[in-house]
Amino acid sequence: MPNEPFLCLQQAARTYKANGLPVTALHPTDLAVGKGAFICLAGPSGSGKTTILNLMGGIDTPTAGRVLINGQTTTGLSRAAAAILRREHIGFVFQAFNLIPVLTAYENVEYILLLKRVAEPERTARVEEVLAGVGLEKVRNKRPAELSGGQQQRVAVARAIVGAPPIVLADEPTGSLDSRTGTKLLDLLRRLNRERQTTFVFSSHDPLIIERADQVIRLQDGRIVES
Protein backbone atom coordinates (compact mmCIF):
# COMPACT_ATOMS: atom_id res chain seq x y z
CA MET A 1 0.00 0.00 0.00
CA PRO A 2 1.11 3.57 -0.58
CA ASN A 3 3.03 5.50 2.02
CA GLU A 4 4.69 8.95 2.29
CA PRO A 5 1.88 11.20 1.00
CA PHE A 6 3.09 12.93 -2.12
CA LEU A 7 -0.12 14.73 -2.83
CA CYS A 8 -2.31 16.19 -0.08
CA LEU A 9 -5.61 18.00 0.05
CA GLN A 10 -5.97 19.77 3.37
CA GLN A 11 -9.51 21.04 3.92
CA ALA A 12 -9.42 21.91 0.24
CA ALA A 13 -12.71 23.28 -1.10
CA ARG A 14 -13.74 24.71 -4.45
CA THR A 15 -16.59 27.06 -5.04
CA TYR A 16 -17.61 28.42 -8.45
CA LYS A 17 -19.95 31.18 -9.38
CA ALA A 18 -22.75 30.33 -11.73
CA ASN A 19 -25.08 33.13 -12.80
CA GLY A 20 -23.67 35.20 -9.95
CA LEU A 21 -24.51 32.55 -7.34
CA PRO A 22 -21.87 30.48 -5.50
CA VAL A 23 -21.92 26.77 -6.30
CA THR A 24 -19.84 24.41 -4.19
CA ALA A 25 -18.11 21.83 -6.37
CA LEU A 26 -16.05 20.43 -3.51
CA HIS A 27 -16.69 20.79 0.18
CA PRO A 28 -13.65 21.00 2.51
CA THR A 29 -11.85 17.73 1.90
CA ASP A 30 -8.78 15.97 3.29
CA LEU A 31 -7.03 13.45 1.10
CA ALA A 32 -3.50 12.06 0.96
CA VAL A 33 -2.03 10.11 -1.95
CA GLY A 34 1.24 8.24 -1.51
CA LYS A 35 3.76 6.87 -3.97
CA GLY A 36 2.77 3.84 -6.01
CA ALA A 37 -0.97 4.26 -5.43
CA PHE A 38 -3.53 3.22 -8.05
CA ILE A 39 -6.60 5.14 -7.01
CA CYS A 40 -9.94 5.75 -8.62
CA LEU A 41 -12.17 8.70 -7.78
CA ALA A 42 -15.63 7.39 -8.55
CA GLY A 43 -19.02 8.98 -8.52
CA PRO A 44 -21.74 10.35 -10.73
CA SER A 45 -21.31 13.42 -12.91
CA GLY A 46 -21.05 16.56 -10.80
CA SER A 47 -19.89 14.67 -7.74
CA GLY A 48 -16.53 16.48 -7.65
CA LYS A 49 -14.19 13.92 -9.28
CA THR A 50 -12.77 16.24 -11.92
CA THR A 51 -12.58 19.10 -9.41
CA ILE A 52 -10.35 17.03 -7.13
CA LEU A 53 -8.25 15.92 -10.07
CA ASN A 54 -7.81 19.52 -11.24
CA LEU A 55 -6.80 20.61 -7.76
CA MET A 56 -4.36 17.69 -7.42
CA GLY A 57 -2.81 18.57 -10.76
CA GLY A 58 -2.37 22.24 -9.92
CA ILE A 59 -4.38 23.37 -12.92
CA ASP A 60 -6.92 24.80 -10.49
CA THR A 61 -6.54 26.19 -6.99
CA PRO A 62 -8.83 25.71 -3.99
CA THR A 63 -11.00 28.58 -2.78
CA ALA A 64 -10.41 27.35 0.78
CA GLY A 65 -7.83 25.06 2.35
CA ARG A 66 -4.77 24.06 0.38
CA VAL A 67 -3.28 21.48 -1.92
CA LEU A 68 0.31 20.31 -1.51
CA ILE A 69 2.26 18.69 -4.33
CA ASN A 70 5.50 17.22 -3.04
CA GLY A 71 5.17 19.54 -0.07
CA GLN A 72 4.65 22.67 -2.12
CA THR A 73 1.36 24.54 -1.95
CA THR A 74 -0.31 25.29 -5.25
CA THR A 75 -2.02 28.44 -4.00
CA GLY A 76 -0.39 31.76 -4.78
CA LEU A 77 1.98 30.42 -7.40
CA SER A 78 2.59 32.48 -10.51
CA ARG A 79 1.40 30.98 -13.79
CA ALA A 80 5.00 30.15 -14.73
CA ALA A 81 5.80 28.57 -11.36
CA ALA A 82 2.61 26.51 -11.48
CA ALA A 83 3.49 25.34 -15.00
CA ILE A 84 6.94 24.25 -13.87
CA LEU A 85 5.46 22.45 -10.83
CA ARG A 86 3.07 20.53 -13.08
CA ARG A 87 5.79 19.77 -15.62
CA GLU A 88 8.14 18.34 -13.00
CA HIS A 89 5.69 16.36 -10.90
CA ILE A 90 2.50 15.56 -12.77
CA GLY A 91 1.60 13.64 -15.88
CA PHE A 92 -1.85 14.25 -17.35
CA VAL A 93 -4.12 12.00 -19.37
CA PHE A 94 -7.27 13.79 -20.39
CA GLN A 95 -10.51 12.26 -21.55
CA ALA A 96 -10.08 12.97 -25.26
CA PHE A 97 -8.76 15.33 -27.87
CA ASN A 98 -5.75 16.04 -25.73
CA LEU A 99 -2.84 15.84 -28.17
CA ILE A 100 -1.25 18.65 -30.15
CA PRO A 101 -2.81 18.06 -33.57
CA VAL A 102 0.05 19.50 -35.61
CA LEU A 103 2.67 17.24 -34.03
CA THR A 104 3.26 13.57 -34.78
CA ALA A 105 2.88 10.90 -32.12
CA TYR A 106 6.65 11.00 -31.60
CA GLU A 107 6.72 14.81 -31.35
CA ASN A 108 3.78 14.89 -28.94
CA VAL A 109 5.70 12.64 -26.58
CA GLU A 110 8.98 14.45 -27.17
CA TYR A 111 7.33 17.79 -26.35
CA ILE A 112 7.49 17.16 -22.59
CA LEU A 113 11.18 16.31 -22.73
CA LEU A 114 11.87 19.46 -24.77
CA LEU A 115 10.08 21.47 -22.09
CA LYS A 116 12.24 19.74 -19.49
CA ARG A 117 15.30 20.45 -21.64
CA VAL A 118 16.37 16.83 -21.80
CA ALA A 119 19.27 16.71 -24.25
CA GLU A 120 19.93 14.31 -27.09
CA PRO A 121 20.56 11.38 -27.32
CA GLU A 122 18.77 10.70 -24.04
CA ARG A 123 15.64 12.38 -25.35
CA THR A 124 15.32 10.15 -28.39
CA ALA A 125 16.08 7.06 -26.35
CA ARG A 126 13.37 7.87 -23.80
CA VAL A 127 10.73 8.71 -26.39
CA GLU A 128 11.42 5.55 -28.35
CA GLU A 129 11.40 3.43 -25.21
CA VAL A 130 8.05 4.84 -24.07
CA LEU A 131 6.48 4.56 -27.52
CA ALA A 132 7.61 0.96 -27.71
CA GLY A 133 6.21 0.42 -24.24
CA VAL A 134 2.74 1.52 -25.35
CA GLY A 135 3.09 -0.35 -28.65
CA LEU A 136 3.10 2.66 -30.94
CA GLU A 137 6.53 2.51 -32.51
CA LYS A 138 5.01 1.79 -35.94
CA VAL A 139 2.77 4.87 -35.93
CA ARG A 140 5.29 7.26 -34.45
CA ASN A 141 5.23 9.57 -37.47
CA LYS A 142 1.47 9.82 -37.72
CA ARG A 143 -0.44 12.81 -36.49
CA PRO A 144 -3.33 12.45 -34.01
CA ALA A 145 -5.97 12.73 -36.73
CA GLU A 146 -4.47 9.65 -38.40
CA LEU A 147 -4.63 7.56 -35.23
CA SER A 148 -7.53 5.63 -33.73
CA GLY A 149 -9.03 6.73 -30.40
CA GLY A 150 -7.14 3.99 -28.57
CA GLN A 151 -3.86 4.91 -30.22
CA GLN A 152 -4.39 8.56 -29.33
CA GLN A 153 -4.97 7.67 -25.70
CA ARG A 154 -1.82 5.56 -25.69
CA VAL A 155 0.14 8.51 -27.09
CA ALA A 156 -1.35 10.60 -24.29
CA VAL A 157 -0.21 7.99 -21.77
CA ALA A 158 3.26 7.94 -23.33
CA ARG A 159 3.40 11.73 -23.08
CA ALA A 160 2.24 11.60 -19.46
CA ILE A 161 4.91 9.12 -18.39
CA VAL A 162 7.89 10.01 -20.60
CA GLY A 163 9.06 12.68 -18.18
CA ALA A 164 8.95 10.07 -15.37
CA PRO A 165 6.61 12.11 -13.15
CA PRO A 166 5.90 10.66 -9.73
CA ILE A 167 2.16 10.93 -10.32
CA VAL A 168 -0.17 10.59 -13.30
CA LEU A 169 -3.67 12.02 -13.18
CA ALA A 170 -6.13 10.57 -15.65
CA ASP A 171 -9.57 12.05 -16.19
CA GLU A 172 -11.99 9.52 -17.66
CA PRO A 173 -9.18 7.94 -19.69
CA THR A 174 -11.46 5.24 -21.05
CA GLY A 175 -14.41 7.52 -21.67
CA SER A 176 -14.04 7.55 -25.42
CA LEU A 177 -12.72 4.02 -25.86
CA ASP A 178 -14.48 0.72 -26.45
CA SER A 179 -14.16 -1.83 -23.67
CA ARG A 180 -11.48 -3.91 -25.39
CA THR A 181 -9.23 -0.90 -26.03
CA GLY A 182 -10.00 0.44 -22.56
CA THR A 183 -8.95 -2.85 -20.97
CA LYS A 184 -5.68 -2.88 -22.90
CA LEU A 185 -4.95 0.70 -21.85
CA LEU A 186 -5.64 -0.02 -18.19
CA ASP A 187 -3.46 -3.12 -18.26
CA LEU A 188 -0.68 -0.93 -19.63
CA LEU A 189 -1.14 1.64 -16.86
CA ARG A 190 -1.24 -1.03 -14.22
CA ARG A 191 2.01 -2.47 -15.54
CA LEU A 192 3.66 0.98 -15.40
CA ASN A 193 2.34 1.42 -11.88
CA ARG A 194 3.93 -1.81 -10.76
CA GLU A 195 7.18 -1.52 -12.72
CA ARG A 196 7.93 2.14 -12.07
CA GLN A 197 6.01 2.77 -8.85
CA THR A 198 4.22 5.59 -10.69
CA THR A 199 1.17 6.81 -8.80
CA PHE A 200 -2.06 6.86 -10.80
CA VAL A 201 -5.18 8.74 -9.80
CA PHE A 202 -8.18 8.24 -12.05
CA SER A 203 -11.43 10.07 -12.16
CA SER A 204 -14.01 7.71 -13.61
CA HIS A 205 -17.21 5.84 -13.15
CA ASP A 206 -16.04 3.14 -15.56
CA PRO A 207 -16.30 -0.29 -13.83
CA LEU A 208 -13.15 -1.38 -15.72
CA ILE A 209 -11.11 1.12 -13.75
CA ILE A 210 -12.95 0.66 -10.48
CA GLU A 211 -12.31 -3.10 -10.60
CA ARG A 212 -8.57 -2.60 -11.08
CA ALA A 213 -8.03 0.20 -8.52
CA ASP A 214 -6.23 -0.45 -5.23
CA GLN A 215 -8.42 2.16 -3.64
CA VAL A 216 -11.76 3.58 -4.75
CA ILE A 217 -12.77 6.93 -3.34
CA ARG A 218 -16.44 7.54 -3.87
CA LEU A 219 -17.78 11.05 -4.12
CA GLN A 220 -21.21 12.52 -4.09
CA ASP A 221 -22.31 16.15 -4.19
CA GLY A 222 -18.77 17.39 -3.65
CA ARG A 223 -17.98 15.20 -0.63
CA ILE A 224 -16.08 11.96 -0.12
CA VAL A 225 -18.66 9.44 0.99
CA GLU A 226 -16.49 6.33 0.94
CA SER A 227 -12.76 5.66 0.73
Partner 1 sequence: MNTFMYGRIALRNIRRNSRRSALTILAVAFGLFCLIVFQALKEGLHQEMVTSTVRLDAGTLQIHAAGHEPNLAVLLPIPHPERAASALRQEGFTRFSRRLKAPTLLLAGEKSSSVLLAGVEPDSEAKVTMIGNRLTAGTYLTEPDALLLGQELAAELGVKVGGKVTLMAQNAFGRPTTRSFTVGGLYRTDLTSFDRTHIYLPLAAAQTFLDAKGEVTEIAVNSGLARIDQLTARLRELLPGDHYQVRSWAQVAPDVQQLIELNDATMDLLILIVFAIVALGITNTMNTVIFERFRELGILAAIGTEPAGILSMIVLESSFLGLIAAGLGSLAGTLACLYLHRYGIDLTSLTSANQYFATSHVLKAVLTWPDLLEAVGVTLATAVLAGIYPAWKGARLKPVKAILHI
Give me the residues that bind partner 1 (CB under 8 A), please. 54, 57, 59-60, 79-80, 83-84, 86-88, 92, 94, 97-98, 100-103, 107, 111-112, 114-117, 159
Nearer Cβ to partner 1 (69/216) = 69
Angle at 19 between CA 17 and CA 21, to 5 degrees: 50
Give the shortest CB-161-to-partner 1 separation in angstroms. Answer: 12
Give the shortest CB-33-to-partner 1 separation in angstroms. Answer: 18
In the DSSP assignment, the letter for residue 117 is T
Nearer Cβ to partner 1 (117/180) = 117
Length of the chain in terms of residues written? 227
Neighbours of 21 (CB within 10 A): 7
Give the shortest CB-189-to-partner 1 separation in angstroms. Answer: 17
CA distance 73 to 89: 13
Give the shortest CB-69-to-partner 1 separation in angstroms. Answer: 13
Nearer Cβ to partner 1 (116/184) = 116
Non-local (6+) Cβ contacts of 4 within 8 A are 34, 35
Nearest alpha carbon to residue 37 among 20, 56, 55, 22: 56
Nearer Cβ to partner 1 (115/132) = 115
